[in-house]
Chain A
Amino acid sequence: MSGGTADEGVATGETLMEVDGMSKYFQSEGGFLASLRGAADVKAVDDVTFDIKKGETLALVGESGCGKSTLARTILQLHRPTEGSIRFKGTDLTDLSSREIRPLRQDMQMVFQDPHSSLNPRLKVGQIIEEPMKAHDMYDAAGRRERAEKLLESVGLEAAHYHRYPHEFSGGQRQRVNLARAFSTDPEIIMCDEPTSALDVSVQAQVLNVMKRLQDEFGVTYLFISHDMSVVRYVADRVAVMYLGHVAELAEKEALFENPKHPYTRALLDSIPVPDPRSTGERGTLAGDVPSPTNPPSGCRFRTRCPKLIQPGTYDVTREELADDAAGAALQSYDLDEPTWRNVIGFVRAVDRRSFTLENVEDSPDAVRAFLDERFFAGSTPSGEPADVIDDAARLLAEERWDEAADHLRTTFEEPSICAARRPAYVLEEDVEEERFVACHLYRDSETDSSH
């Protein structure tokens, strides 16, 4: 990789951006009335820390609403963060005024998803590419034109296309024009927000290849936002998986895909249909919906859907760490064996999601309990205190008091878990001298460094 022109000391592989404790909250409803009613903020990004290295492609992946676009936009100061700092080549961008940031935009460019609406239809392609150079007073007119023509060739178009209008180009070609425009100011970093999501697969491959080639040529850093794990596997060097405003896991691409640590990463990877009918292994399915970001779960935000939720008592938590309603429940260990615990959690979730019906069951507590035993606890029913709680739930269900049953079960079995009590953040040292970040308490004992 050959370096760009404006290196200013940051070598390839060194830290280009440092994001530290960054949060971005949005008001869920605007205005004074909303604040009177105490409308909660949407915690789009919540206390996120990581860095971006020069010349790499860091992918931000996750499902809609996970905060990946907000995170990227906040890093580039399109949104101002609610909290935290973002250091770009040593300068904290959050200290700067909008006016002070403007000249830095030369180094931070963007490419968006929709190739149809992101180009001004009244401008010629050449003018579109020159626009950012003009804004930053780069080169004279002849120099800009020369650079625009050169860039058209770099993205696989022709210099002669300088005089054409956007409507004369297909979606894939327009995305190449967008790339040429982004590269015109010779930026350090380009944020690409789902740059190929609107394109057909054959065209997507062309654009992805152009992006890779440009990176080799100019040594640029990509912050690549995508929901498509296959595309990420093709372009990324490192991957940050986001869930509901948190980074769940950040690792080198190969490590992440071949050995996903966070249960959410695993679930995400397992749910992709593999383009091969002979592919072995069942596709996994993650049940339930993403909770609302206005009132996200405490601790690990994935814990309401996590198949690996840790049993209360496995790790000590203090009374202060527990939510008020859970604090009364217990700071104790039930010591259920693994299959029984899985059954219990399956039952708690089923009640919470109302994924079963008691329509054909007699509405006596005993009948309900017998039904539950057969449906959820076949093989291993808990005894002792947990059994009493399930009896209580059966009684509530028999009276059709589902919400109370769900609350009772959650406060007993889920809320006292370390997963609900404490936000996980662990840095693991991998064999390959690479650090990896996993926000999951399962890795509590393998932590090597608690700097996060």
Chain B
Amino acid sequence: MSWLFENFSDVWALAVTHVALSVPPILLGLIISVPLGWFAHRYRWGRGTLLTIAGLLYTIPSLALIIAMPTILGTQILDPINLIAALTLYAVALLVRTAADAFDQVSPQVLDAATALGYGPWRRFWQVQFPLAAPIIIAGTRVVSSSTVSLVTLGALVGMSGLGYLFTDGTQRSFPFEIGVGIVGTVLIALIFDLIIVLIGKALLPWSRTRRVRAKTNAETLEVTTNA
């Protein structure tokens, strides 16, 4: 434990780097996946192609992908962009399918009603279709967030910073406590990310909670009447 106190500022710096490396792939993955998912939802032929590519992407071993990145992108070997690009690809691979499913489950009747009310296509997407797909997209983002935070540790194997450094360093020095600190730190970051995403979801989508209320009681109409 004293090791942690003595080295806390170093561990903290690694944790900050870890967060800095985790956030861009999650956000980029989200930004890229939503339009792709919409495309897969909208066009049948696009769906097969996109989802197959996404599936294949995910089967590439992560370490191999990270190592191959400098060659593909023409970047320096130690450039953090390599890691961010590789993890973004994984995030997209996971999220495209989720986003497509999310758009699939939005009731076509509701979209039809929105058109009948006088929503133009663009406004309809942002104000109706996307918000209604959002709960599932958020659920998918939680998975991607956890997986990204844990995959960032792999960066240490190719010389990048982050809590993964505690794994490699602890292994070389045969110092399990350091490895334990790395694991606990990574899990903590993942949990905090998850919490943040859940809170954002609750703030943006207050209506999605009412479904659970409804599922709980079939006597809902009765309750509504008495409350009125």
The answer to whether A and B assemble together is no
Q: Which residues of B contact A (CB under 8 A)?
A: none
